[in-house]
């Protein structure tokens, strides 16, 4: 437990990254907490039990709530059930919620904590790569609606985040690979060393028993921590973390959330790279090389870089509902060069469609 990396998110809270650190969850709660609700999916009952034991041994009164797997957890109905549980258990403003699971669970747990009594403490214990490097860090919480992903939510920074890399050993390989999309995203927008590390040994990046993966996690968390500390409420700089997400979220919605988030974001990054090239942001041989690098580095770890070519109208409708839109104007994060993100507002429908054509593959050949 001595080998722990602590990454500060401004002056607000810390992210602890290490092996065998689950027992430290109570140290992030603070001394005035009495009751704790541990939220987890059914697949993580044993792990949640370990968190419960650690908290109980530290004197907390622990309640547990099992929520559905994946995006099915992120509904207002599930949130309402959890609020009812908090009410029955007598949770006060000095009590807390702990989210144990992937990004959907930490999003939900944070949203429930943000809403109860206008905000109680939440500690996030992400158990997926995606959760560790993205969803659990930053304080963005929310649930989905039929109209789109994360359209109802709140900014509610956690009291702390605990990343025990040992739990990734049980993560299905497809989920680990999907999480690498958010790691690679950080390489393109801020830390090119991430790309170099992945390209030097893509297989090491996919292995939970290889120290390369922990290094990638720490680098990605540092990128997000620095951006979030500078812009908690996504008023300016923080938008760069949405690189690839406008198109990626549209894929998720059109596919009924059957695509993993990272898979959709992978295609979304290729899409905005092509969009940047078409609009002159990535110009000349260097620009062409950077667009090609998107495809090569993502494909090297097993992520998709294309999407079926017969869904344009549905995708466009979904993108127009995106949170980053302003009125009828679509906004995208694009690159002016490696680690040089900027914003592109209001590209023409013809340009948007042309970029789609460059990532499209015949529907009969498309595969998730």
3-state class (DSSP) for residue 259: coil
323: annotated active-site residue: no
Say if CB 106 and CB 81 are below 8 A apart: no
Ligand-binding annotation for 182, yes or no, is yes
Catalytic annotation, pick one of 35, 63, 261, 311: 261
Ligand-binding annotation for 149, yes or no, is yes
Ligand-binding annotation for 245, yes or no, is yes
Ligand-binding annotation for 323, yes or no, is no
**CA dist list (Å): 200 to 151, 216, 261, 281, 297:** 38, 13, 25, 27, 10
140: annotated active-site residue: yes
Q: Find the helix or strand (DSSP H, E) in which 77 lies.
A: helix 76-89
Per DSSP, what are the bridge partners of residue 125?
100
Catalytic annotation, pick one of 249, 281, 294, 311: 249
**CA dist list (Å): 137 to 23, 65, 292, 348:** 19, 22, 30, 34
281: annotated active-site residue: no
242: annotated active-site residue: yes
> Angle at CA 173, nearest 5°, toward 170 and 175?
90
Catalytic annotation, pick one of 40, 140, 206, 219: 140
Ligand-binding annotation for 306, yes or no, is no
Ligand-binding annotation for 261, yes or no, is yes
CA distance 281 to 283: 6
Ligand-binding annotation for 63, yes or no, is no
CA distance 167 to 208: 9
Catalytic annotation, pick one of 245, 260, 308, 324: 245
Ligand-binding annotation for 57, yes or no, is no
Ligand-binding annotation for 109, yes or no, is no
Catalytic annotation, pick one of 52, 218, 234, 274: 234
Catalytic annotation, pick one of 35, 150, 156, 182: 182
Catalytic annotation, pick one of 88, 118, 326, 350: 118
Ligand-binding annotation for 74, yes or no, is yes
Ligand-binding annotation for 34, yes or no, is no
Say if CB 155 and CB 140 are below 8 A apart: yes
CA distance 206 to 187: 16
Ligand-binding annotation for 70, yes or no, is yes
Nearest CA among 348, 126, 156, 133 for reference residue 262: 133
Ligand-binding annotation for 71, yes or no, is yes
368: annotated active-site residue: no
40: annotated active-site residue: no
Catalytic annotation, pick one of 63, 156, 224, 331: 224
Say if CB 140 and CB 182 are below 8 A apart: no
249: annotated active-site residue: yes
Which of the residues are catalytic? 118, 140, 182, 224, 234, 238, 242, 245, 249, 261
Sequence ranges of the binding site: 69-74, 127-128, 140, 149, 182, 245, 261
Sequence ranges of the binding site for Zn(2+): 182, 245, 261
Sequence ranges of the binding site for NAD(+): 69-74, 127-128, 140, 149
């Amino acid at each position: 437990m001595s080998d722990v990396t602590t990454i500060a998110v401004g002056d607000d809270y810390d992210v602890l990254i290490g092996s065998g650190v689950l027992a430290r969850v109570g140290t992030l709660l603070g001394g005035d907490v009495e009751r704790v609700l541990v939220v987890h999916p059914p697949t993580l009952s044993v792990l949640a039990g370990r968190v419960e034991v650690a908290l109980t041994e530290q004197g907390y009164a622990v309640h547990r709530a099992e929520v559905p797997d994946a995006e099915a957890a992120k509904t207002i109905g599930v949130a309402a059930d959890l609020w009812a549980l908090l009410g029955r258990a007598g949770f006060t403003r000095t009590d807390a919620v702990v989210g144990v699971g992937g990004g959907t669970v930490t999003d939900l747990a944070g949203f429930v904590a943000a809403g109860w009594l206008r905000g109680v403490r939440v500690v996030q214990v992400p158990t997926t790569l995606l959760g560790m490097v993205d969803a659990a860090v930053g304080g963005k919480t929310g649930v989905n609606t039929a109209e789109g992903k994360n359209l109802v939510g709140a900014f509610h920074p956690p009291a702390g985040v605990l990343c025990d890399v040992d739990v990734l050993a049980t993560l299905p390989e497809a989920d680990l690979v999907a999480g690498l999309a958010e790691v690679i995203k950080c390489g393109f927008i801020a830390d090119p060393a991430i790309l170099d590390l992945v390209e030097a040994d893509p297989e090491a990046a996919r292995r939970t028993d290889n120290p390369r993966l922990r290094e990638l996690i720490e680098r990605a968390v540092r990128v997000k921590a620095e951006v979030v500390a500078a812009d908690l409420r996504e008023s300016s700089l923080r938008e760069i973390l949405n690189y690839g997400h406008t198109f990626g979220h549209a894929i998720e919605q059109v596919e009924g959330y059957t695509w993993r988030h990272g898979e959709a974001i992978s295609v979304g990054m290729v899409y905005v790279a092509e969009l940047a090239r078409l609009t002159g942001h990535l110009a000349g041989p260097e620009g062409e090389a950077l667009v090609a690098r998107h495809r090569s580095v993502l494909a090297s770890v097993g992520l998709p870089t294309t999407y079926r070519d017969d869904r344009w109208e549905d995708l466009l409708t979904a993108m127009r509902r995106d949170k980053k839109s302003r009125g009828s104007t679509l906004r995208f994060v694009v690159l002016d060069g490696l680690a040089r993100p900027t914003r592109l507002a209001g590209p023409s429908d013809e340009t948007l469609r042309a970029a789609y054509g460059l990532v499209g593959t015949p529907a009969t050949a498309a595969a998730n």
